[in-house]
Structure 1
């Protein structure tokens, strides 16, 4: 009798425990990943005060007229964006390959739709660089302006964004050995068109893969060659990044 009682007690205890676990699982809210809320490039209305950051590398193949060889130089890119009220956001971007650098900031407005979303904005970039190797002592600084627009959509856990921008230069100053050698003001430099894909890796971590064609005359990573050519070139960038916050 005692053995049967113990067996019945254990069976009842296990049944109640299993039922409790099942109830807790059913009540516990399921975490659903949303690529829109976790994306960085895709246009969407940011929550006011929300801060996101991304880090990446851009690999650029320069035209042969620039460097006379199939040279690829990776740029280090750091991005940060903060959400503002009424669909606005503010962003800052730092790009560097040591001898050429750009600090870029801007303000953007986002509009979300059922299928597509869009963004419009205006960025200003300060460019600076120095070439002090191989006997050179050349330095540059410039101001660049980027009115831009993006359109994007999502497919399950993937977001696709097409971004276009124009580029106007308001000032360039280049010196050699402390002597001013070039100075340019106010000219239309060209534009760029890029496609970016954001894909979930694990949890809420998202990878960014992109390709952008910069059709410009003054391409700052190769600023020492700027004065030699009076035409625009296609400078193709391949981007790989990770949203870190």
Structure 2
């Protein structure tokens, strides 16, 4: 049986299209200019660990759902407390770091190229508010941008991928999920979606047992491969 054609391409955002650690690191450096590089690295790790841990608690049902800007606000306060920042304005600016993440060099042009052939959906764990600011700052252009907030959970919960399936109104095997994180692709794969891994330095590479449909070095490589389908 031939492989079904792809009708819609769905993109993860954080890490896949924007360099999330670089954006948060820059915000921490701006908020705490007295910290050396090693200290900033530790603060970034603390931020990331808090957000990941709290998302996992929400996924397990150990904590009621809170959107990403709440978790980022908590992480920002932890960082501020660690280095003695007491200015509320500085803390608020730091907490909004997730809306000021730099795109990868190929993200804007790659999306534009793919949009000539496919409807594009952004599917992110970022909240609706954060996603709006992030898309504007990074220059990301979508036909539709969806936030996990609408499902009141986080990827890789099935309900988040269900948002894209509902909007696309197509069978899951006709949607291609693109991500730099193998765990994200596994979540989409569990619902029958096609999968494409994009290599990014901040992502999670495939494990030996993973079998994704496509592997690409960047969005241009992905577009080249899809042009052959």
Scaled by the length of structure 1, the TM-score of the pair is: 0.27
Higher strand proportion: 1
Higher helix proportion: 2
Q: Which has the higher contact order (CA 8 A, sep 6+)?
A: 2
**Which of these two proteins has the greater Rg computed from alpha carbons?**
1
Scaled by the length of structure 2, the TM-score of the pair is: 0.29
